[in-house]
């Protein structure tokens, strides 16, 4: 006998929203986000700060404007995310020699090792959340989502 929660959900699962790609995207994202945030919490990170740290650790040396664009954040939000990471000694701001208006954000050694540890936590949480998909299905999903996430590619 299903719990009340399941019964309730079952009743609405025949609704039109269940075929709505945007709704499914929102719900799947909410589930992944809360699992991800829970997994990252032990490292003092959230999805946002993790993604900034991860990009800074990747060696591409992104400017804050590039981070804002890639993560779909307002530049002012990037300021406070980088402030936080910098105050914890995880990233540095370096003036871009080619454009002195711009700050290049680079992970410190501590930042790189935290990013690696956080990535492991995030990945194992993700595997738990997506356990009902086969490896093939997960790959297909990743490719399709990438097409939506980067339409101009």
Partner DNA sequence: TATTGTTATACTCTATAACTATA
Partner DNA sequence: TATAGTTATAGAGTATAACAATA
Interacting partner of 6 out of its own copies, DNA, none (Cβ under 5 to 8 A depending on kind): its own copies
> What's the token pair of residue 64?
């804050």
Interacting partner of 144 out of DNA, its own copies, none (Cβ under 5 to 8 A depending on kind): its own copies
Closer by beta carbon to DNA, 10 or else 140: 10
76 near its own copies, judged by CB under 8 A? no
Smallest distance from the beta carbon of 91 to DNA, in angstroms? Answer: 11
150 near its own copies, judged by CB under 8 A? yes
Cα(153)–Cα(148) distance, rounded to whole angstroms?
10
> In the 3-class helix/strand/coil scheme, how is 36-96 assigned residue by residue?
HHHHHHCCCCCHHHHHHHHHHHCCCCCEHHHHHHHCCCCHHHHHHHHHHHHHCCCEEEEEE
Q: Which residues bind DNA (CB under 7 A)?
A: 4, 34, 46, 48, 63-65, 68, 73-79, 82-83, 93, 96, 99-103
135 near its own copies, judged by CB under 8 A? no
130 φψ region: left (φ > 0), alpha (ψ -120 to 50), beta (else): alpha
Closer by beta carbon to DNA, 27 or else 123: 27
């Amino acid at each position: 006998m299903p719990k009340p929660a399941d019964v309730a959900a079952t009743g609405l699962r025949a609704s039109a929203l269940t075929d709505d790609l945007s709704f499914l995207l929102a719900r799947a994202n909410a589930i992944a986000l809360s699992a991800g945030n829970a997994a990252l919490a032990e490292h003092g990170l959230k999805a946002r700060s993790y993604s900034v740290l991860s990009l800074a650790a990747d060696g591409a040396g992104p400017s804050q404007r590039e981070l804002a664009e890639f993560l779909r954040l307002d530049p002012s939000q990037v300021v406070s995310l980088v402030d936080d990471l910098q105050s914890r000694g995880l990233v540095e701001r370096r003036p871009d020699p080619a454009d002195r208006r711009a700050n290049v954000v680079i992970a410190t050694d501590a930042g790189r090792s935290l990013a690696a540890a956080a990535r492991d936590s995030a990945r194992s949480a993700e595997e738990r959340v997506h356990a009902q998909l086969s490896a093939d299905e997960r790959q297909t999903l990743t490719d399709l989502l990438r097409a939506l996430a980067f339409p101009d590619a």
